[in-house]
Amino acid sequence: METTTKVNGVAKPKTSEKIPVAAHPLAEDPTDIASNIKYHAQYSPHFSPVKFEPEQAYYAAAESVRDRLIQQWNETYLHYHKVDPKQTYYLSMEFLQGRALTNAIGNLDIQDAYASALNKLGHELEEITEQEKDMALGNGGLGRLASCFLDSMATLNLPAWGYGLRYRYGLFKQRISKAGQEEMAEDWLEKFSPWEVVRHDVVFPVRFFGHVEVLPTGSRKWVGGEVLQALAYDIPIPGYKTKNTNSLRLWEAKASAQDFNLFQFNDGQYQSAAELHARASQICAVLYPGDATEEGKLLRLKQQFFLCSASLQDIIARFKERKDGTGVRAWSEFPTKVAVQLNDTHPTLAIPELMRLLMDEEGLGWDDAWDVTSKTIAYTNHTVLPEALEKWSQVVMSKLLPRHMEIIEEIDKRFIAMIKSTRPDLESKINDIRILDHNPNKPVVRMANLCVVSGHTVNGVAQLHSDILKAELFADYVSIWPTKFQNKTNGITPRRWLKFCSPELSLIITKWLKTDKWVTNLDLLVGLREFADNPELQAEWDSAKMANKQRLVQYISRVTGESIDPNSLFDIQVKRIHEYKRQLLNILGAVYRYKKLKEMSPEERKTTTPRTIMIGGKAFATYTNAKRIVKLVSDVGAVVNTDPEVNDYLKVVFVPNYNVSVAEVLIPGSELSQHISTAGMEASGTSNMKFALNGCLIIGTLDGANVEIREEVGEDNFFLFGATADQVPQLRKDRENGLFKPDPRYEEAKQFIRSKAFGSYDYEPLLDSLEGNSGYGRGDYFLVGQDFPTYIDTQAKVDEAYKDRKRWIKMSILSTAGSGKFSSDRTISQYAKEIWNIEECPVP
């Protein structure tokens, strides 16, 4: 393993020869850790023996860290088994974990030891961590929220598990070319992931199709169809400076050897011989497969059921193995030991599946099974967008899951009977609030309604969102069950989103607060307020922000080839590309800014605030307008960035393949971030919290968690514009009635794009969505034109504020100081107390 490595461009021989090869799974001393890393390179080999390049060093280091995690993991599992506390099971179609190495050594508090150990082996920790590919198990805020929650559950010593699917190719890897966004399969499992442990003893059968048989006893059983196997892969989730290490359990779909038809294969019928294997491999291939086709819809429903069925069978098996002294356990105890949280409507099938397992497999009657189910399951709503509230075809559901369709019909029937007997005043509303929509053209199952009717608690994810749910979307249910609805404002983990991604700023915070306890008690950040005017803190703060900006400059240069000026204002909008998030408003503003700069004299330009606008995010593969927005951003960038008159004062950069690791560079380096959704449409947002925590100022509407962020950081430290949620419906009506008067600056920006100033691509269909007063895909539903004037005026205020450096830095400090509320530790302790009724269970 004797090679040379370059440090600061100078080749020096690696010292790894002097380090003995020895297993030290629980080592804390750097030399012993280095020995353990070498041991893994040699005795857990994945590569040819002569290589010890950064890639090999990464895998060996990861396996060395994993030794330590496995020890804690096993202790945690045994401790929970012994104490038998009530546990939470968090079901989510997405988990956006990000890199595990930096997070694990950070939470275990062994960064310095690992940095030193890798140095002894001739490697730099920074270079080694860069080798890790993000786990491609999610897409946006929904998945990242689930991952922040897992971090907080472990840190708070709460007995809790995450359950998801092990997607081989993720959503997609984004490439930006002349044609715009291109999608490629993610390759995070191309080699292997050192963080997962396959549990060959944890396998459950999952059935699709088939039919329902009525047994002589009158009970029912689902039989026939095709049966796949769900195999468990576990990923350790370490808490911060605690022994507790929880699990994220991911399911992989498999067919067994006996499903392989050897006769057909030898007869040359290769495809039909392995048909079930092929169908199994589709289930966990891709996150959110396109659902424009019937096959696509069926595959998505299969994925959802696969997650629910495997997870519930696992939960029931765990419940049954902890018997009381008599050797049996009453099912009425189940809700005192199990809390199941549905993260959005994707895992709704957990409701009929738990009913089926309890009745058909465990022999409970309807009333007992319903009692258990409705006390066990709770539902988090993440959206008021109608297209995101899932509705599944009754025909598809009956075919794929015949027994579940029967159960859903029975829940619906009993709900209607309950309304008729106890709330005759709501009889006229039955068709809106029942679960089944029997529209003769397209009969569907309304999943959100099923969740609300069946769950014991329903929560929104920010105060404004929860208020809208109660006042509008679920108003009738609130009148039936007034105590069922709660708010749980989202949060983010301060470990990944400040301590680890912005080490310079973290050290300054610890120095001025005289404690690092803020990492697990984020409310302590409020103590920075008393120093906000202190010139010494301001100077340190400014230099930490500059170090993060320099890191971002290098990153942008590496991935886009664009050079950006670290002294310009870094203005960033990164999130899924969606019309309601209004990246279009941002780029129209940038186009207007460019046009005004072009019209200025060189002297006038020198008085402006130089700005670098960065936009990033993935557009769903079949979402045409979102993809047009991506293309527009890169076309505008191509012109602006090469225009010698202007490019000292404005750059526009599309940052490709936005994911957690990209966010960890962008967010610390940002100074202004845009959270500009149409008011009332973003349930919460969580990147807004990450930016605010990192001392970045927000320009935004009164939407989602922006409302609460503005309250916490102070109105003077938030750049507010735009219509409010309660004004939006009337503004839409006015638009339909032809009362909207566009601002001339808005017309100017659109006209500039139409003039082909940014190339020959046809932007007419995109701009068309902003024109007309009504009609499908027209009439500016998201009020870009309505909010454009106040947006431009507020951006001018940003430019002015940025010129006053002292004022800007003070605002930045106050932004961080006001972010204490937005820790996922706070969110999760509220869920634990107010929804799950679970308590901490620290490993001794």
C-alpha to C-alpha distance for 554 and 573, rounded to whole angstroms: 19
Please check whether residue 694 is in contact with residue 816, taking contact to mean a CB–CB distance below 8 angstroms.
yes
AA identity, residue 680: G
Task: Name the catalytic one among 581, 611, 618, 732.
Answer: 581
Radius of gyration over every alpha carbon of the chain, rounded to an integer in angstroms: 28
Task: Name the catalytic one among 40, 391, 551, 690.
Answer: 690
Cα dihedral 264, 270, 271, 274 in deg (nearest 10): 70
Residue 604 token pair: 């006038």
Please check whether residue 407 is in contact with residue 380, taking contact to mean a CB–CB distance below 8 angstroms.
no
List Cβ neighbours of 330 (8 Å cut-off, separation of 6 or more): none
Cα dihedral 285, 288, 290, 296 in deg (nearest 10): 70
Residue 832 token pair: 């634990």
465 in catalytic set = no
H or E segment to which residue 313 belongs: helix 294-321
SS3 content of the chain, % helix, strand, coil (to 5): 50, 15, 35
Task: Name the catalytic one among 575, 611, 651, 750.
Answer: 575
Q: Work out whether strand 485-487 and strand 458-460 pair parallel, antiparallel, or are unpaired.
A: parallel
Which one, of 321, 336, 340, 152, lies nearest residue 244 by Cα? 152
Report which DSSP code applies to 386. G
What is the phi-psi region of residue 104: left when phi exceeds 0, alpha when psi lies from -120 to 50, beta otherwise? alpha
C-alpha to C-alpha distance for 694 and 574, rounded to whole angstroms: 15
Q: Helix axis angle, 535-560 relative to 503-513, nearest 10°?
A: 170
* C-alpha triplet 288, 198, 90: angle, nearest 5°: 50
Task: Name the catalytic one among 373, 489, 686, 794.
Answer: 686
Q: Work out whether strand 10-13 and strand 4-7 pair parallel, antiparallel, or are unpaired.
A: antiparallel
Whole-angstrom CA distances from 697 to 148, 377, 571, 714, 782 are: 22, 38, 9, 11, 24
Q: In what order do the strands lie in the sheet with 391-393?
A: 391-393, 444-446, 436-437
575 in catalytic set = yes
Query: Is 195 buried (19+), middle (13-18) or exposed (0-12) by CB count in 10 A?
Result: buried
Residue 619 token pair: 């557009």
Q: Is 38 helix (H, G, I), strand (E, B) or coil?
A: helix
Q: Helix axis angle, 805-817 relative to 535-560, nearest 10°?
A: 90
What is the phi-psi region of residue 164: left when phi exceeds 0, alpha when psi lies from -120 to 50, beta otherwise? beta
Report which DSSP code applies to 823. B
Query: Is 298 buried (19+), middle (13-18) or exposed (0-12) by CB count in 10 A?
Result: middle
Please check whether residue 426 is in contact with residue 476, taking contact to mean a CB–CB distance below 8 angstroms.
yes
382 in catalytic set = yes
C-alpha to C-alpha distance for 168 and 178, rounded to whole angstroms: 28
Please check whether residue 434 is in contact with residue 412, taking contact to mean a CB–CB distance below 8 angstroms.
yes
AA identity, residue 200: H
Task: Name the catalytic one among 38, 576, 627, 821.
Answer: 576
Per DSSP, helices labelled H in 362-401 are 366-376, 394-400
For the chain, the maximum distance between any two Cα atoms, rounded to a whole number of angstroms, is: 92
C-alpha to C-alpha distance for 577 and 629, rounded to whole angstroms: 8
C-alpha to C-alpha distance for 382 and 345, rounded to whole angstroms: 9
690 in catalytic set = yes
Per DSSP, helices labelled H in 423-474 are 430-433, 447-454, 463-468
Q: Helix axis angle, 583-599 relative to 624-640, nearest 10°?
A: 20
Q: Is 806 helix (H, G, I), strand (E, B) or coil?
A: helix
Tell me which residues are annotated as active site.
382, 575-576, 581, 686, 690
